[in-house]
Amino acid sequence: MASGLKASANGKALFLFDRLGGIHALGESEVPLLDRNAPYFNKPGMAVDIEWAPGEQGFVFLDAFGGVHSIGRVDSLPERGSLPYFDRPCLADLEVTRDGTVFLMSRTGRLYHSHVE
């Protein structure tokens, strides 16, 4: 099952993110997808969202509990403890700005944020 779709800036590749945490490339990818600090889940829906990291050489991936992971070349992630981590799946969305600010949104609409240095 698909969870997200991202296109490369140059239009030469598409990336499909599945609900288990896998990412699949179609086209000419320059992103090293095997360079990952991200889990692969055995239960659908644990992998929530994926966004380009600043510089578009990798992705930032959110799990339903609040774990923020990297796939490809990602310079840095938010410091551990700077974003909440939950004991149950409750997150719905992730956004990463060009300056590295990470926003998380819960299923109830509550927002959390952390800046990446």
Are 103 and 59 in contact, with CB atoms under 8 Å apart?
Answer: no
Tens digit of pLDDT at every position of the chain (117 positions): 777 899 998 899 999 999 999 999 999 988 998 888 888 899 988 999 999 999 889 999 999 999 999 999 998 888 888 899 999 999 999 999 988 889 999 999 999 998 665
- The pTM of this model reads 0.86
Integer Cα distance of 115 and 100 in angstroms: 6
Strand partners, 111: 105
Alpha-carbon gap, residue 64 to 46, rounded angstroms: 5
Neighbours of 95 (CB within 10 A): 15
Residue 11's contacts (CB-CB under 8 Å, 6 or more residues apart) are none
Query: Nearest-CA neighbor of 18 among 47, 38, 59?
Result: 47
